[in-house]
Structure 1
């Protein structure tokens, strides 16, 4: 437990330093960020000093507590300057949780006139949350066996020092790829006519698939087809596995089952919806393709940018975008949602089951990346999907009990759990925001974002008595 406290303290110190950077860069809000940075860094220093003699090695139970607590600590720290700026505690926590989980839902309006220091802070939260989740998903969740993530275990050794070195090497390689893509994206945004500030902040929220924008019209503020196509491409790049990028660079290995499945599915959906939009509207074919491609990719990758109010295109589009919300990007990317790997394995499991029913003596093995998938991985995928929809149902019920209509409650629950951002409907759709909701509803939605980003089971296991009995035994000093 001491090491968990130490890590949380280090997170607070990191965010205190980030606030200090914001204070240096932007004069209009420097007092807010300077005060917030000092308070946050002081609290972090106290925690690290209290646990400074802890050992580096962790047990598996420690990893559950550390992963869950660090993301909550980050959200609280991220909300400090927003609270000092004048937001209510509920709004500040909601905005920060939405940022750090790269959800993109917002309670803020008048973004066009919001101080640049606040806009930059929101973008920074999403940039940190995006790369933080990639490292968590690949370095931590395979050890925790969350949702079939064992597929991405890079080493079979149980030696703590070796695993730590591998995790550090992966984190460093991921950060290099992440920063390179953000830089390239910002340069292309600049070439397309954005200001330097807009290019940097929107590049950070593009690659993190977060979707925070500095404008109320979201990315629709930029009417340039070049910028919108560029954004579509880089959103897609952010939703691909970062381990795949590293493998491509180091080994020139391009094959990846979930990447192929995701790209094919996106292409089919975009073409079908484009044909429908052309048939039912006045949009020219290329314009319809651009609008559909941008918004479909944005929703599937859980980015949440919008260039149009797609809920006004007709019931088919409302239904399609609602279900696309749950899909998500690839496992090991910055995207949220159910993840392409899990949907692909679930589909192959169904096909295998149907095939086996047709022939009693035939045994069909489910494969991923050319290798047979172990039974515990498939069980993890099934359990995750069951919990995913069960959690969605529970969130919907709670939101309905808090006074939301069924459409808003259902859409809000799914968009929070999938970390998408905008929902459907007039209130929280792409043309609205979450400001009108009660503090209780915002808190529930923030918790839904938290659950969705940590794939639910990582958090929900902490609410079981068995976990704490085992953890209590683990904490007892040896005789």
Structure 2
């Protein structure tokens, strides 16, 4: 019988922490003179109360530790429960959303998807805007770090949580999980601070810079403006592109870089492929746009570079209407959206590493067809890939493709136009942000979608953030009987 008390204990701790963090946007609205602080106060009280109750009622679980199955269950529970409490400020305060819209926005935030159902962001209380950004920052890496800090307290190898998050530690470059957690937090905070300062240095207000710094490093994409990054066109697009690329790199490699190992970055085959594919995608889209438009080369370069990178990394900002560029550019950005950023980054989707493994497996199979008696090993970056890694990648691709097609059909059955349904399924399962089609609002919001479509997208965002298999394994009767 699976003991779920340790899971409840950890989720309760994280829930209590989330309620305490609500005091930050509360203080912002209080300082700005908005009555909306009362909604945050109510939400914070309820969240802390429930979190504390769950924690105290299961405190005896501290002596029992956390097993592999419990680690998977905790991962799935965190990403379902915390958005529910993260939605409370939207229910109890501005914008007085209903349950569907509030939970959608919170799930979009914590999964770093960035799709929004809110309009009128320019007139929202500042606390609400900050809370949306905080949700994305926590979802990007903060929740993982907090969980990893708690795991050693329960005398559990935190590598289990890395495993259940499909978080590749790239060779265990540090000896203890606590050290990894602390180093990840340093890198995450450092990148966030640098992004905020860079945005301010290139003309953003302090408040806008703070919010966009949080959501850029989280590769989340929530903005303080209805126009998203179109309100900041110019040099700020280059700044955003730079930090989105950095956030899309493996954080373990950035830790090594902090330790003085520059070679660790360039020798990583995944990083080289990621940067190379960005160049290919930008060049292809730019060539097409220059052929069909009279816009200046530098304007096309800036807009293409920013918008391709934001979709490649799954950030989801928009400085131009990508859907209006034409069918070929849309096809390219959808393709790079499926690829996603590097493993062990804040980016989502399938990830560059898995595509590299798939390509190597295909090449080996083609060589075997021409030389059937030859024994071959699949290598990536000079290292041999075990068969279970290859099998896992193939299963991941199969599950991802299957869920995407099922989700697209289900969205179409809700009444959405075909293009809208396809891009809505794509943006949800890949945790990207924008959807394209006639039902999408002028600001990019999907508030006009049927509620059924929104709940389907919520499910897609949840599955995509946990990379599908970590959720599907919870549905197997064998998992609960093991």
TM-score (norm 1): 0.92
Q: Provide the rounded CA distance (Å) in 1 between the counterparts of 2:426 and 2:369.
A: 34
**Structure 1 residue 66: Cα displacement:** 0.5
**Is 2:223 the counterpart of 1:213?**
yes
Task: Encode CA deviations 1:273-312: one digit per residue, 9 max, x unaligned.
Answer: 1111111112111111111110100101010001100111
Q: Does the 8 Å contact 1:426/1:432 carry over to 2?
A: no
Supply the distance in 2 between the matched residues of 1:405 and 1:426 (Cα, whole angstroms): 7
CA contact (8 A) 2:441 2:447 kept: no
Question: Which one of 373, 398, 402 corresponds to residue 386 of structure 1?
Answer: 398
1:78 equivalent in alignment to 2:118: no
Report if aligned partners of 2:119, 2:443 keep a CA contact under 8 Å in 1. Answer: no
Q: Is the 8 A contact 2:142 2:185 kept in 1?
A: no
Aligned length: 459
CA displacement, residues 128-177 of structure 1 (integer Å, 9 cap, x when unaligned): 10014665899445534x76x6674629xxxxxxx9x8222211111100
Asked whether the 8 Å contact 2:430–2:464 carries over to 1, the reply is yes
In the alignment, structure 1 residue 128 sits paired with structure 2 residue 128: no
1:333 and 1:430 map into 2 onto residues whose CA distance is: 31
Offset at residue 361 of structure 1 (A): 3.4
Q: Is the contact made by 2:134 and 2:214 (CA closer than 8 Å) also made in structure 1?
A: yes
Superposed CA offset, 1:43-89 (max 9, x none): 00100011001136211111111000011111111101011121000
Partner of residue 29 from structure 2, selected from 26, 29, 34: 26
Please state how far the C-alpha of 1:461 moved relative to its aligned partner.
Answer: 1.2
Change (3 A) 1:56 1:296: farther
Gaps of 5+ in 2: 149-157
The 3 A distance-change label for structure 1 pair 133 and 282 is farther
Per the alignment, residue 179 of structure 1 pairs with: 189
CA-to-aligned-CA distance 1:193-221 (integer Å, 9 cap, x gap): 11110010000001110000010110110
Aligned position for 2:155: none
Which residues in structure 2 correspond to 1:329-348 (within 5 Å)?
329-348=341-360
- Mapped contact 1:427–1:433 kept (Cα < 8 A): no
Aligned-residue CA RMSD in angstroms? 2.0
1:200 aligned residue:
210
**Could you list the runs of 5+ residues in structure 1 that have no partner in the other structure?**
156-162, 471-479
1:48 has 2:55 as partner: yes
The answer (yes or no) to whether the contact 1:6–1:52 under 8 Å persists in 2 is: yes
Q: Secondary structure at the match of 1:322?
A: helix
TM-aligned CA deviation for residue 22 of structure 1: 1.7
**1:191 aligned to 2:183?**
no
In the other structure, the counterpart of 1:327 is 339
Partner SS for 1:42: helix
Structure-2 residue corresponding to 1:474: none
* Distance in 1 of aligned mates of 2:243 and 2:117: 26
Task: Write the distance in 1 (CA, Å) between the matches of 2:386 and 2:76.
Answer: 27
Displacement after TM superposition at 1:364 (Å):
2.9
1:101 to 88, 107, 111: 111
Q: Summarize the Cα distance change of 1:418–1:140 in structure 2 as closer, same or farther, 3 Å threshold.
A: farther
Aligned with 1:360: secondary structure? coil
- 2:340·2:351 contact (CA, 8 Å) conserved in 1? yes
- 2:382 and 2:162 map into 1 onto residues whose CA distance is 19
Among 257, 268, 275, the residue aligned to 1:248: 257
- SS of 2:439's equivalent in the other structure is coil
Deviation at 1:399, TM superposition (A): 1.4
In 2, the alpha carbon distance for the partners of 1:103 and 1:143 equals: 22
The answer to whether the aligner puts 1:143 opposite 2:163 as a matched pair is yes
> 1:410 and 2:422 equivalent?
yes
Pair 1:415–1:429, CA change in 2 (3 A): farther
Corresponding residue number in structure 2 for 1:68? 76
- Does residue 37 (structure 1) correspond to residue 44 (structure 2)? The answer is yes
Q: 1:297 to 1:56 in 2, by over 3 A?
A: farther
Instruction: Give the secondary-structure state (helix, strand or coil) at the position aligned to 1:26.
Output: helix
- Contact (CA 8 Å) 2:116, 2:447: kept in 1 or not? yes
Whether the aligned pair in 2 keeps the contact of 1:60 and 1:143 (CA below 8 Å) is no
How far did 1:450 drift? Answer: 0.5
Report the TM-score when normalising by structure 2.
0.91
Between 433-442 and 110-119, the greater mean CA deviation after superposition: 433-442
Which residue in the other structure is 2:479 paired with? 467
